[in-house]
Structure 1
Amino acid sequence: MSTVPGLEAALTAFEDPAAKARDLLRLHRTWAHTHEVPAGARGVVARSWLRQNPEGDKISTPISDDALLARRERSRLLASVVPILKDRLLPLAHEAGNELVISDDEGYPLWMFGPSPIRRRSDGLGFVEGARWREGDVGTNSLGTAMEERRPVQIFGPEHAREDQHAWVCTSAPILDRRARTPLGVVTLSGAFRTAHPHTLMLVTMAVREAVDTLAGQHERDLRRVARASEAYAGSGRFVVVDRHGWVARAEGYGVGERVWVPSSLREGTVWVPEIGQVRAEAITGGWVLHEAVSAPATVEVVRRPSPRILVTTAGSTVEIALSERHAEIVALLARHPSGLDTAGLMALLDGATTPVTIRAEMSRLRKRLGGLIESRPYRLTTRATVRPDAT
């Protein structure tokens, strides 16, 4: 196993790859025939096999060249770290007879590099630029499984779902985008299973960490540019300056963390922003200035099912704020008791056992989340609220 905490290589440096493959083939055949994951499968593989049925080989059809170019164009952040990844991993790929594959956030390989012989074998599998390789497309494979697990993964030989991949070992690590807190893409080294080595998992992981650090540096520089673009607003009252993902570049008069939630459909005008409250949004280069605005009345609708949330409408703009089931239950109770409820009142009405300490902790988190919608002593909503009729 890898010596790096949290990383699990598919085999140790002292295991014979051929013998390992024979042992794994017996497990794969058991799974294929019984549709049950046998004991002995590694945890990451067992979870992947449980997410699918062994229903024969799956094929992924490549998208058109124009669609591939369009995906590369929209993946500019990912493209910015391709040179680093090539520099760190391509020499190893050539030496080991592997290929380097860089895929986007949806599992489409956008760039593939490596020796011609391994590329030809890869083409024969349909593992080509523009052919999506999520688990749902081709079964267990390191690219798709790394996306599902959101962590580095090495898949060896018959751990792959498709039998035509049993001669391969593939090692992947996702690139997590700090800005949107979502996977930006996946980096993969793949080749013949006889080239398998546990150190490959560490090398791919470290290269991805360097790429993520580079992206973080770019992000800090971008935030400084957004802050400079807001200089004209200094002294104009309370406001928060954020980039397009809500990362805070500057704040005057507000105590906020490093990021606030902003709706993806944010437009200029009055809007409700969790943690801040009602603001007037004004676009600047690279982001937004969120000015304090309290003139427009706001209304709240509580939705309990199927997904707990509240809808905050102000000046014709509606924002959805996702909540936990417990928090949605609390807001619904406050909506039905406009004069307010103290801790004892909430305890009496909430489902399930609870304590005053638990209530106060939940209300502290909820008030921070809802940016001024809830007052204390007693707890009450500061604006008119209704509960959608299908709520219970």
Structure 2
Amino acid sequence: MSASRLEAALAASEDPTAKARTLLPLHRIWSETAAIPGPVRPVVARSWQRQNLGPAVIRPLDAAGIRERRERAAGLSSLVPLLRERLLGLAADAGNELVISDDEGYVLWVDGPSQVRRRSDGIGFVGGARWRETDVGTNSLGAAMTERAPVQIFGPEHAREEQHAWVCTSAPLLDAAGAVLGTVTLSGSYRTAHPHTLALVCAAVAEASGLLAVRRDAELAQLAGRVPAPAAPHVLVDPAGWVARTHGFGVSGRLRLPGGLGPGPLWVAGLGHVVAEAVDGGWTLRAADTRTELELIAHPAPRALIHHGDSSTAVPLSERHYQILALLAAHPAGLDVRGMLARLDGATTEVTVRAELSRLRRRLGGLIESRPYRLVVPVLVHG
């Protein structure tokens, strides 16, 4: 989490009440006309542009629903004691509460002074409530999830007037692959606003992320030591797809495993067709020796069928990705980027072509080679 991206809502020398008075007319202009005045901070302007101010939708989960989500977010749950230790005492001294939400914006833990919690209850900022931007408008929790960066939202920067008395500071907790695990927020009266709060939240989240990475690396090392390594090419992963060991495959980090993974042949982005074998604490994915073929179907919706022995995997395609694959099918010797650009309708730059090919290669695993770009399996095209 880069310090250069931190942008506090007001300077330490600014008076919060005076700041709120200057922001209120800007909010009124936007809420009445949908025009965003120039002085509005860029992160707030982006959030306001994403708004569709219908009625707020807050339907908190019951106690059983909260417990279920806490169990689902086991990694996040394991970090709560650390976050409380680093933030709760200072937050209480400053008249703030600590709020921790999961990867979908559901508030799962709320701690802090009772008077602050009673006030947050009044606006629906409670355990079990979902606080994405689409639910309650511009707020720091929702904006941090969308921006994937720390955000402080002050007073009338909130989309809804009932939140104008608040300042909220949030930072997303990201895993090593960049996925949002949850969000950590300090919130209180706008009169408690201070730029140091942003740095404090970010430091705690960075420490929590580091602890999570250390734990995951230790668990992967244990998995690699526990499961014997076959001589054939394979990848050993934990249930979430984190790579514990690889041999004969150029992968690292994390694989996107298909839902409902079970033993047997399957297709995995980044690997292609493999055979999955359940092991203690994860999966071994072995290279498959069955012939793989690609079938392209244009109608009624573009898609690719990847046939591997007796199994098939359907991959939905955009119109552009179907065009690229059909073009590669028509040029089995391959094409470089310039050749692709010259033949793709509507393509304007080599950069955009490379970007599309990169996205397509991630979706189709090892079926497309580069230098030049070409398909490495037989292909049948239905126009």
TM-score of the pair, normalised by structure 1: 0.86
Identity %: 56
Greater alpha carbon shift after TM alignment, 298-307 vs 97-106:
298-307
Q: 1:250 aligns with which of 234, 245, 250?
A: 245
Q: Which residue of 2 aligns with 1:9?
A: 8
CA drift of 1:279 comes to 1.8
Is 1:300 equivalent to 2:294 in the alignment?
yes
Aligned AA (1:12): A
- Conserved in 2, the CA contact under 8 Å of 1:35 and 1:53? no
Q: Which residue of 1 aligns with 2:46?
A: 47
Q: 1:283 aligns with which of 264, 278, 288?
A: 278
CA drift of 1:113 comes to 0.3
Q: Which residue of 1 aligns with 2:32?
A: 33
CA drift of 1:372 comes to 4.5
1:371-382 paired onto structure 2 within 5 Å: 371-374=365-368, 380-382=374-376
SS at match of 2:131: coil
Between the aligned partners of 1:92 and 1:106, the Cα distance in structure 2 is 27
In structure 2, relative to structure 1, the CA distance for the partners of 1:37 and 1:383 (3 Å cut) is same
Q: Which residue of 2 aligns with 1:189?
A: 186
Between the aligned partners of 1:370 and 1:152, the Cα distance in structure 2 is 34
Between the aligned partners of 1:124 and 1:211, the Cα distance in structure 2 is 30
Greater alpha carbon shift after TM alignment, 197-206 vs 253-262:
253-262
- Conserved in 1, the CA contact under 8 Å of 2:294 and 2:305? yes
Greater alpha carbon shift after TM alignment, 165-174 vs 66-75:
66-75
In structure 2, relative to structure 1, the CA distance for the partners of 1:226 and 1:347 (3 Å cut) is same
Write out per-residue CA displacement over residues 230-265 of structure 1, whole angstroms, 9 at most, x where no aligned residue. 21x443x22221223333211223333334443234
- Conserved in 1, the CA contact under 8 Å of 2:107 and 2:127? yes
1:131-150 paired onto structure 2 within 5 Å: 131-150=129-148
Q: 1:329 aligns with which of 317, 323, 326?
A: 323
CA drift of 1:172 comes to 0.5
Write out per-residue CA displacement over residues 53-76 of structure 1, whole angstroms, 9 at most, x where no aligned residue. 345x62512122221221111111
In structure 2, relative to structure 1, the CA distance for the partners of 1:87 and 1:304 (3 Å cut) is farther
Aligned AA (2:14): E
- Conserved in 2, the CA contact under 8 Å of 1:229 and 1:284? no
CA drift of 1:305 comes to 9.0
Please list every run of 5 or more consecutive structure 2 residues that lacks an aligned counterpart in the other structure: none
In structure 2, relative to structure 1, the CA distance for the partners of 1:220 and 1:378 (3 Å cut) is closer
In structure 2, relative to structure 1, the CA distance for the partners of 1:347 and 1:200 (3 Å cut) is closer
- Conserved in 2, the CA contact under 8 Å of 1:299 and 1:385? yes
CA drift of 1:106 comes to 1.1
Q: Which residue of 1 aligns with 2:21?
A: 22
TM-score of the pair, normalised by structure 2: 0.88
Between the aligned partners of 1:280 and 1:175, the Cα distance in structure 2 is 33
Between the aligned partners of 2:83 and 2:371, the Cα distance in structure 1 is 56
Aligned AA (1:264): G
Aligned AA (1:241): L
Aligned AA (1:118): V
SS at match of 2:215: helix
CA drift of 1:291 comes to 1.4
In structure 2, relative to structure 1, the CA distance for the partners of 1:85 and 1:379 (3 Å cut) is closer
Q: Which residue of 2 aligns with 1:94?
A: 92
Between the aligned partners of 1:354 and 1:171, the Cα distance in structure 2 is 40
Aligned AA (1:78): L
Between the aligned partners of 2:353 and 2:124, the Cα distance in structure 1 is 55
Between the aligned partners of 1:64 and 1:164, the Cα distance in structure 2 is 24
- Conserved in 2, the CA contact under 8 Å of 1:302 and 1:332? yes
